[in-house]
Chain A
Amino acid sequence: MRRRRVLVLVLAAASALAIVRRRRRGKGERVTLGFGDGSTITLEAGTPDAERLLAVARRAVAP
């Protein structure tokens, strides 16, 4: 019985952690580009290409 309770707690904690991580990832900075051939790429913050574009975008939305 006690072992089951521990397992439930561990699973609940893992789920909560996954939700927090997913939310954080959603709030992250990124750039999505669409091209004339129909392809799309997403650049996550931290890569040189993304940072170059994000620097321009940050200036535009700065208060």
Chain B
Amino acid sequence: MVASAPVEPSDALADLVEISSQIVTAAVFEPSGNVAAAIGGGGDSLARTARELLEAASTIRPGVPVTRIEASTRGGGVFVVREGERLIAATTTPEPTSGLVLYDLRTALAKSARAAEPEPEKPKRRRTSKAQGEGGDEAA
């Protein structure tokens, strides 16, 4: 995946619509439907649509999780990408360049996911007292 600095989901979506002129609306959300960020309006509605699509798609191959949906209609496209516990959905203009849209969505999701991760604890520096070191010398 693309190595880039983690950003807030709203910033990731702002970058997304700036990069891709084909994306009309987009939302980052959790499997529960809780929307972390949206752009272009109707974030809740888009998350609901995405969940409906995932639910309908899950019956096609039961037991195998659906990680990507590209629905192409005459009015435009609807894309859903799932990576772990984070999802991103977007609507596009008609006949989008699917590969490009998917790449941009994955990049935005990865950036926002890294921002959501808690910072790893810094390893505590072990103090070695002089006495111990000196003691070691004495023992030798």
Write the residues of chain A forming the contact surface with B, with a CB cutoff of 8 angstroms.
26-37, 39-41, 43, 49, 52-54, 56-63
Contact = CB atoms under 8 A, between A and B. Distances in A.
Interface of B: 45-46, 49, 52-53, 56-57, 60-61, 64-78, 91, 95, 98
A58 B71 CA distance: 9
Given A31-B71, A34-B67, A36-B64, 8 more contacts: A27-B74, A34-B68, A34-B69, A37-B64, A39-B61, A56-B49, A56-B71, A60-B78
Contacts of B78: 56-57, 60-61
B60 A49 contact: yes
Contacts of A56: 49, 52-53, 56, 71, 78
B75 A58 contact: yes
Nearest to A26: B95
Contacts of A31: 57, 69-72
Contacts, number: 83
A34 B66 contact: yes
B65 A35 contact: yes
Interface of A is mostly: mixed
A61 B95 contact: no
Given A32-B98, A35-B64, A36-B67, A61 B75 contact: yes
A33 B102 CA distance: 12
Nearest to B61: A35
Contacts of A36: 64-67
Nearest to A43: B60
B89 to A, nearest CB: 9
Contacts of B53: 53, 56-57
B75 A62 contact: yes
Contact of B56 (A26, A40, A53, A60): A53
A5 to B, nearest CB: 37
